[in-house]
Chains A and B, each alone.
Chain A
Amino acid sequence: MKCHVPGANVKVLGRTVHALARFGDELYLESLADCILLRTLNAAESAYAMVKFNKNFFSYFNYNYYSTDDNEGLKCKISMKSALNTFKSPTHMDKQVENLEIKLDAEACKLIFQLKCKHGIVKTHYVSILDSKAMQAVYTKDSVPNRITSPQRILSEALSNFQQSDDQVTLEATEQSLVLRNYVDLNIEFTKVIRSQITLKPAEFDSYTIGEETTITFTLKEFKALLGFAEALNLPLQLHFETTGRPAVFIVHNGSTFEAHFVLATSKPDSATQATSTQNTTKAERSKRKDKSVQDSVRKKPHLETDTSKCLDEDSHLFNFIDIPEDENIPTENGNDTKLNNVRNTIDDINCVDITNNSQAMDCDNIPPSPTSKKIIKSIFKRCFESTFDPRAIQGVVLVENSDSE
C-alpha cells in the first residue's frame, strides 16, 4: 500500500487518530481497492470505531502498491501510541505539513509515515506492524427506528452540565424530548453522587425521529471523544440506535471523502455492572461468533458469553502465533477462503516469506514481537545507559578551579 495525504487532510487524519486513541490501544489499518479503513476497539469491548477514508481523500492512492498480480490490500495492526506519535498535534498540522506519505516497508515489517513539512523539514516515522490481521465488527445502522441528527455542539454543551467523574450517560429518547442523565451505578453510594439531567427539545436537532421510545446507557469517555471529533471537524453527528441493549451507532461524515462510525454498547440504565453492558455488545455477527466459539472453544475464556468480541481472543493469543478467522462483513464462501488463508498464514508467520511474490502473505509478513523480546530490548538500552553514564561522570569531567568562564 502507498498513499499520499494532502496537507489539509492530514489534520483530519490526525483528528481521527486522536479520537480513536480515546477508544482503543491498537489501531487496525486495512486498505481496500477504493478506501482505507482505520478501526479500533476499547479494552472493555464496549466501544468500537471505524473510519473510512475514500480514495478521493488522498492525492495518490495505491492500495496494493507492492503486489502486482493480486487484489489483496494491506491489513495490519499497529500500536495506538505509535500512531499518536505520528500525529502529535493535529491542531497545527495543516499549517506545518504539506504532504504525508504512508507506505508499507514489507521487508522491515514497518509502516512508514513520512511527513513533508514547511521549512524543508521531513519527519519520518517507522512504525512497527504488530500483527497482520483485520478486525471488524458487525452492527446495524440502517434499519433502526431511532435516528437523530445533531449539530456538533449541542450534545457537548449538554454534557458540560455533568461532572468530570461521571463515566456513563443515559439517554431517554421519546418523541417529545431527549433526556440525558448521568448514569448512577447502584453500587456506589448514592448519597455521595450528584444526579443530573438535562432535557433537550427535538427542535434543537437537525432531524429527530424516534420510532421506538427507549432508554439507553453508554460510556461517556468514548462518547466525549466522538463528540470532540465531530466538533473539531465541524460536522454534524448522526445517532442511530435501537433499544436498550442494542448498540448505538454514531456517524460523522463529510459526504465525500470520509465517514466515521462509532459504535457504543448500551445497557439498561438500572443494570449495575459493567459485565452487563459488555454482554449486550453486538459488535460481531452472532452466527459467526458461534461458529468460532465452537472452533476455538479451547481458547475461549470460560466466563465470556458467546458474543464476546473476537478481538480479545486475538489479543490474548497474539503471541501464540495462532490466527483467528477474519470476520467478514458478508459471510459468503469468501469466509472459508479467509480461514484457509489463515491456516497458511500461521505457517507463513514463522517463515516470513517474501511478499512481493506472494501477495497472500501480505497480511502475515511479519513475526509478531513477543512480550519477552520487548523486555530484552528495553533492558539492553537500559544497560547502555548505565555503562555510559558512570564512566562519563568521572572521565568526561575535568574539575577546574573556578575562573571567569565568559
Chain B
Amino acid sequence: MDSGKTLCSLLKAIQFQECAVFCALPEGLKLTVDEGKCVQASAYIPSDNFTEYHVRDDVDVIFKISIAVLSECLNIFGSAEESSLKMYYRNEGSPLLLVLQPQSVHNVMTDCEISTQTADSVLELRDEDAAEVAKLVLKAPAFLGLLADLERSCDIIEIHLSPEHPNVSIVTYGMQDRSCIDVPKSSDMVQSFSCEEPVTLKYQLHHIRLIMKALALSTKVVLRCSANGLLLLQLKLEKEDQRQMFSEFYIVPLLDD
C-alpha cells in the first residue's frame, strides 16, 4: 500500500475497544470490534486499495490483534506523513509484520512485529430472518452535523421513520427537556428514503455516538433498520485516488419493558 494514512484514520474511528478481529479475505481486509455486545463496528478495506494483495484461499486468515497498537504503529511517522506500508502474516500464532517507510524521507524505516492471538468467533448480530423495514441513504457530513448537535447528556435517542411527513424524526430526552429534529425525505441530505410502515426505534445515544468518528471520514451513509430493531449503518469513505473503504456498524436497539 502506498499510504497507510487513510487506513490508520479508519482504524482510529472504530478504536473503541482494545482488540479487534483481523480478517484477511480474498476480497479485502476486515477488522471488527465489539462494544459490550451491543455495537459491532467493522472497517473494510477492499483489496484494490493495495498495490499488491495476496491471501491464501485454502485457510481462513483470521486473528485477534490490539487495534491500539496497530494504529500507533501505522502512525509511527506521524499523521502528517504519507508512508508506504507492507504487511505480512505467516500463519496462526505468528506476529503481524509491518514495514513502514515515509515517502518524503528516505533514510528511515520502521519494522513492527505485532503479536496476534487466535480469534474467538465473531459476534453475529444480524438475524437473517428479520426483514428490512426501512432504508435511508444520507449525506454523511450533514448526518454528522445532526448527531453533533444532540445533547450529550441524553441517554436515549428515538428514531421515528415514517412514509408520512416528517419522514425522519430524531428525539432525545434531557433532564427536563425534549428535543426533536425533523428531516423530511425531500431534504438535500436525504439521497434516498424507503419506508412502508411507520417505525419507532430506540437506542442508547452513547452507542450512536460511536459512529461519529467514522462519519467524519465518510461521504455517504446507508441506514438499514430491520424488523427486530437492529440498526445497520454502512459508511462509504472515498479516497483521493478514487478507491473506497467502508465501515459498518450494527447497533442493538433498546427494548421497552
* A residues in contact (CB < 8 Å) with B: 79, 81-82, 85, 88-89, 96, 118-128, 130, 369, 374, 377-378, 381, 384-385, 387-389, 391-393, 396-402, 404-406
B114 within 8 A of A: no
B221 within 8 A of A: no
Docked-complex contact A121 and B179, CB < 8 angstroms: no
Docked-complex contact B123 and A82, CB < 8 angstroms: no
Which stretch in B8-16, B66-74, B96-104, B184-192 binds the other chain?
A: B184-192
A396–B37 alpha-carbon span in the complex (Å): 9
16 contacts between A and B (CB under 8 A): A81-B174, A88-B148, A119-B188, A119-B189, A121-B189, A122-B166, A123-B182, A127-B177, A128-B177, A381-B155, A396-B228, A397-B123, A402-B119, A405-B30, A405-B122, A406-B44
B58 within 8 A of A: no
Docked-complex contact B254 and A120, CB < 8 angstroms: no
B87 within 8 A of A: no
Docked-complex contact B179 and A125, CB < 8 angstroms: yes
Bitwise interface map of B from 17 to 51 toward A, beta carbon under 8 Å scored 1, else 0: 00001010101101000001110000010000000
Complex partner residue of A122 from B30, B145, B181, CB under 8 angstroms: B181
Docked-complex contact B184 and A124, CB < 8 angstroms: no
Docked-complex contact B156 and A388, CB < 8 angstroms: no
CB closest chain-A residue, reference B26: A404
Q: Which of B140-172 contact A (CB under 8 A)?
A: 142, 145-146, 148-149, 151, 153, 155-156, 166
B240 within 8 A of A: no
Docked-complex contact A391 and B255, CB < 8 angstroms: yes
Complex partner residue of B187 from A121, A377, A401, A402, CB under 8 angstroms: A121
A405–B256 alpha-carbon span in the complex (Å): 30
Docked-complex contact A402 and B183, CB < 8 angstroms: no
| Chain A hits for B151, CB < 8 A | 85
A130–B174 alpha-carbon span in the complex (Å): 14
Q: List 12 other contacts, CB 8 Å, given A121-B183, A369-B176, A393-B36.
A: A79-B176, A82-B176, A119-B188, A120-B183, A120-B186, A128-B177, A381-B156, A387-B257, A392-B37, A396-B125, A398-B124, A406-B25
B175 within 8 A of A: yes
Q: How far, in Å, is A106 (CB) from chain B's closest CB?
A: 16
A123–B60 alpha-carbon span in the complex (Å): 48
Docked-complex contact B155 and A374, CB < 8 angstroms: no
Q: How far, in Å, is B77 (CB) from chain A's closest CB?
A: 31
CB closest chain-A residue, reference B246: A406
Docked-complex contact B125 and A121, CB < 8 angstroms: no
Docked-complex contact B37 and A126, CB < 8 angstroms: no
Docked-complex contact B124 and A399, CB < 8 angstroms: yes
Q: Which 6 residue pairs spanning A and B have beta carbons closest together?
A: A128-B176, A400-B124, A120-B187, A122-B182, A119-B187, A126-B178
Complex partner residue of A123 from B127, B180, B204, CB under 8 angstroms: B180
CB closest chain-A residue, reference B254: A388
CB closest chain-A residue, reference B62: A402
| Chain A hits for B38, CB < 8 A | 389, 392-393
| Chain B hits for A401, CB < 8 A | 121
A127–B174 alpha-carbon span in the complex (Å): 9
Inter-chain residue pair count (beta carbon < 8 A): 122
B252 within 8 A of A: yes
Docked-complex contact B149 and A88, CB < 8 angstroms: yes
A127–B28 alpha-carbon span in the complex (Å): 49
Q: How far, in Å, is A322 (CB) from chain B's closest CB?
A: 21
CB closest chain-B residue, reference A395: B255
Among B177, B181, B184: residue with most chain A CB under 10 A:
B177
Task: Take A121-B183, A393-B37 as given contacts and tell me if A388 and B257 are in contact as well, using a CB distance cutoff of 8 Å.
Answer: yes
CB closest chain-A residue, reference B188: A119
A126–B174 alpha-carbon span in the complex (Å): 10
Number of contacting residues on B, CB 8 A? 53
CB closest chain-A residue, reference B60: A402
CB closest chain-A residue, reference B170: A123
Complex partner residue of B179 from A123, A381, A391, A397, CB under 8 angstroms: A123
| Chain A hits for B27, CB < 8 A | 406
A82–B155 alpha-carbon span in the complex (Å): 15
CB closest chain-A residue, reference B229: A396
Among B27, B149, B176: residue with most chain A CB under 10 A:
B176
Docked-complex contact A378 and B187, CB < 8 angstroms: no
CB closest chain-A residue, reference B186: A120
Docked-complex contact B123 and A123, CB < 8 angstroms: no
A264–B176 alpha-carbon span in the complex (Å): 31
Q: How far, in Å, is B147 (CB) from chain A's closest CB?
A: 12
| Chain A hits for B21, CB < 8 A | 402
A405–B149 alpha-carbon span in the complex (Å): 34
A388–B148 alpha-carbon span in the complex (Å): 26
CB closest chain-B residue, reference A130: B176
Docked-complex contact B174 and A85, CB < 8 angstroms: yes
CB closest chain-A residue, reference B122: A402
| Chain B hits for A120, CB < 8 A | 183-184, 186-188
A130–B236 alpha-carbon span in the complex (Å): 44
CB closest chain-B residue, reference A122: B182
CB closest chain-A residue, reference B255: A388
Q: How far, in Å, is A318 (CB) from chain B's closest CB?
A: 13
CB closest chain-B residue, reference A114: B180
A130–B175 alpha-carbon span in the complex (Å): 12
A378–B27 alpha-carbon span in the complex (Å): 48
Docked-complex contact B179 and A385, CB < 8 angstroms: no
A125–B181 alpha-carbon span in the complex (Å): 9
A391–B174 alpha-carbon span in the complex (Å): 25
Q: How far, in Å, is A117 (CB) from chain B's closest CB?
A: 9
A404–B29 alpha-carbon span in the complex (Å): 11
CB closest chain-B residue, reference A83: B177
Docked-complex contact B180 and A124, CB < 8 angstroms: yes
| Chain B hits for A125, CB < 8 A | 177-180
